Amino acid sequence: MTQRLIKCVKLGKELPALEKPPFPGDLGKKIFESVSAQAWEMWRSDMQMKVLNEYRLNMGDPKDYQVLLEQMQLFLNLKGGSTLEVENADRGRKG
């Protein structure tokens, strides 16, 4: 079986695709069709945790979950806009 290649919207080049959609529904399908496995791993293993931790998102709260989905789409270049700032050394520190 050959590896499926796609033109990755995040990294801008042809790369190996995900083996299956990362979750059900239209968004999962959109990611599967346009985001490389490498870009998805960049989100999943690094940026997702930074967003969750930096903004103290509660995945039990539907509003917080929507913020995470929004940031994921922005990070993966699936929609236009600005991602939230993460790793700002000045935020949250006094003195």
> 16 near 36, Cβ under 8 Å?
yes
**This model's pTM is above 0.85:** no
How far is residue 67 from each of residues 41, 74, 83, measured CA to CA in Å?
19, 11, 10
**Interval 7-16: pLDDT, tens:** 999 999 999 9
Please, what's the largest Cα pairwise distance for the chain? Answer: 58
Q: Rounded CA gap, 3 and 26, in Å?
A: 23
Beta bridge partners of 14: 7
**Interval 42-60: pLDDT, tens:** 999 999 999 999 999 999 9
